[in-house]
Amino acid sequence: MSSGIFETFTYEDNNGVKRPIKLQPETISGLIINGVSNDEAEGSPDANTDYVRVSGGTRQAGVYPRKIGIRFAGNGPAGYKAGATHYVVVPDPEIFASFTNPRAQTGTYLGAACVVIGTSPERQ
């Protein structure tokens, strides 16, 4: 599993509001699907917006990010369980759309081959 520092990136929610989100850098730079790299949304977070909630119970108020589910084709990177589904945050809605249509696209995460097997929609 990923470990290390967290940095603040820009996440664009489904209403077009740009919000700050804390992620590990490899969440952004480590995912490439069908030749398209995961990236933060363009621009800076809008003033006075709350951070996107990446973890925690969904009974709490706030925005929970959209994610794609990937499964490694063979052995994944060190620390990742083989055969398990791993969810990766996708901060930009246009990139999310390109990753999820058509289904079963292939790519790499942290250098290991993977396939997109599902999605988790944004919740507010």
Of 91, 115, 104, 103, residue with least CA distance to 32: 115
Residue 85, domain member (yes or no): yes
Q: Which residue has the tokens 């507010």?
A: 124
Q: Is residue 2 assigned to a domain? A: no
Give bridge partners of residue 114 from the DSSP assignment.
72, 107
Q: What count of other Cβ atoms lies within 10 Å of the Cβ of residue 38?
A: 24
Residue 67 within a domain: yes
- Looking at the structure of the chain, the number of domains it has is 1
Q: State how beta strands 106-109 and 86-89 pair.
A: unpaired
Whether residue 9 is predicted with pLDDT greater than 60 in this model: the reply is yes
- Residue bearing tokens 């990753």: 99
User: At 3, is the pLDDT very low, low, confident or very high (cuts 50, 70, 90)?
Assistant: low
pLDDT at 54 over 90: no
Is there a domain that residue 110 lies in? yes
- pTM score: 0.91
Cβ neighbours for 8, distance < 8 A, ≥ 6 positions apart: 20, 21, 22
Task: Read off the tokens for 98.
Answer: 């390109």
Domain boundaries, position 114: 7-55+63-120
The average confidence (pLDDT) of the chain is: 91
